[in-house]
Amino acid sequence: MFAGLLQQGGLSLDRLQSFCLVAQAGGVTRAAKGDPARQSLFSRQVKELEEFFGTELIRRKGRGIVLTDAGARLNTIARECCAALTDFKSECRNQPVEVVIGTGESVIQWLLMPRLDRIREHLPNVRLKFLNLPTADAVKRLADGVIDFALVRKDAVTRPLQAKSLGAMGYSLFVPAGLHATAGRKDGLKLLDGLPLGTLEGEGSFRSGLAQSAKKQGIKLNIQIECSSFPLAARAVAKGRVAAILPAIAAADLPPATAIQVPVTFLKAFDREMCLASNARLLRIRPILNQAATILAQTCHF
């Protein structure tokens, strides 16, 4: 069956691994991490693969490389083959199989971590790896076969990836108990007006959307702390000095004794339908992923 494939030299798992490293890094130099010997080895091995298959696999672009159509296809084939073989080896040796999940820091900290014991109970033969990734990056890595699952917004997932809905991630105003007590009995909208806030830095979609919505409602945002992530903003809330608009699941780290979760009507527009995204190709060749998908879908609801 494979006689024609193996009659000619130049194909090996080592060469395929090197090619995948170069493809993921976006260049031979980057993949070699400054090691001249590895750089020379990677360049030679990619060239040998090109000679073996009789086609160009990479092209130079600036200081890096881009994959040709053939190179992109080989990268997918090699990654999936090596992933399946790695699973098979682990299973034969009765060792845990690695499953990689890409998602944002908020989801890792407030959704996955509180459910970790339940997940591990149902997946005792799995070693979980959580990667803190922006949505676009997680979706791309999933499509490329670099990660196994992505917990992301459903509207960010396109075919041929699959998406199983996990519910809507909503947002609430979290006010330190001390600040809430001194603010008096105000509804969420009035309470937010002028309240010292911690929020995300920069001009991302959340920050710009919040500014637009507040302006429309005639609310003055009193931003005193800017953070690179929601969990960092939650830590500022826990210190008692500022409030913050956070994913509702932040309640896992902010019990009522620490902060009061206050609903604010206009935040409903920020709700995001979340999903467990998977790659059908990987599910076919790695049986453990089907089991993991079922458990994650059952466990990780918003």
CATH number of the structural domain spanning residue 59: 1.10.10.10
The pLDDT of residue 190 is above 90: no
Kind and range of the H or E run holding 238: helix 230-238
Residue 4 has pLDDT above 80, yes or no: no
pLDDT of residue 6 exceeding 80, the answer is: no
Same domain? For 58 and 191 the reply is: no
Q: Are residues 160 and 282 in the same domain?
A: yes
Structural domain range at position 35: 3-76
Confidence of residue 52 (pLDDT cuts 50, 70, 90): very high
Single-letter amino acid code for the residue at 185: R
Query: d(Cα 51, Cα 19) in Å, to the nearest integer?
Result: 13
Do 12 and 23 share a domain, yes or no? yes
Average pLDDT, the chain: 92
- Burial of 58 per CB tally in 10 Å (0-12, 13-18, 19+): buried
Instruction: Place 149 in a pLDDT band, splitting at 50, 70 and 90.
Output: very high
Same domain (yes/no): 251, 111: no
pLDDT over 90, % of the chain: 73
Render pLDDT for 273-287 as a digit per residue (tens, 0 to 9).
999 999 999 999 999
Q: Are residues 291 and 145 in the same domain?
A: yes
Examine residue 83 and state whether it is found in any structural domain, yes or no.
Answer: no
**Same-domain check for residues 27 and 65:** yes
Query: Do 123 and 179 belong to one domain?
Result: no
13-25 helix and 36-53 helix, angle to the nearest 10 degrees? 110
The predicted structure's pLDDT at residue 182: 72
* 258 in the same domain as 182: yes
Instruction: Give the global pTM.
Output: 0.85
Boundary of a domain, candidates 76, 111, 127: 76
Q: DSSP letter at 250? A: G
pLDDT of residue 61: 85
* 164 vs 123: CA distance, rounded Å: 19
My answer on whether 176 and 210 are in the same domain is yes
Q: Which helix (H) or strand (E) element contains residue 171?
A: strand 171-176
Domain for residue 124, yes or no?
A: yes
153-184 pLDDT, tens digit each:
999 999 999 999 999 999 999 999 988 877 65
Asked if 249 and 169 count as a contact pair (C-beta separation under 8 A), the reply is: yes
**Contacts by 155-163, CB closer than 8 A, 24 or more apart:** 155/273, 157/275, 157/277, 160/279, 160/280, 160/281, 161/277, 161/278, 161/279, 161/280, 162/277, 162/278, 162/279, 162/280, 162/283, 163/275, 163/276, 163/277
Output the pLDDT for position 245.
96
Q: Does residue 222 fall inside a structural domain?
A: yes
Q: What is the pLDDT at residue 79?
A: 87
Contact 16, 85 (CB under 8 A): no
CA distance 225 to 121: 39
Residues 41 and 164 in one domain: no
Cis, bond preceding 160 (omega within 30 deg of 0): yes
The pLDDT of residue 296 is 97
Give the chain's domain count: 3
Q: Has residue 89 been placed in a domain? A: no
Q: Is residue 48 part of a domain?
A: yes
What's the sign of the alpha-carbon dihedral 131, 71, 280, 137? positive
CATH of the domain at 287: 3.40.190.10
User: What's the pLDDT at 1?
Assistant: 59
Q: What angle separates helix 13-25 from helix 69-92, to the nearest 10 degrees?
A: 120
Question: Is 7 a residue whose pLDDT tops 90?
Answer: no
- The more confidently predicted of residues 206 and 169 is 169
User: Region 250-268: what's the mean pLDDT?
Assistant: 92
Same domain for 215 and 162, yes or no, is: no
C-beta separation of 168 from 182 below 8 A: no
Nearest to 81 by CA among 22, 132, 12, 149: 12
Q: Are residues 175 and 264 in the same domain?
A: yes
81 in a domain, yes or no? no
Which whole number is the average pLDDT over 18-24? 92
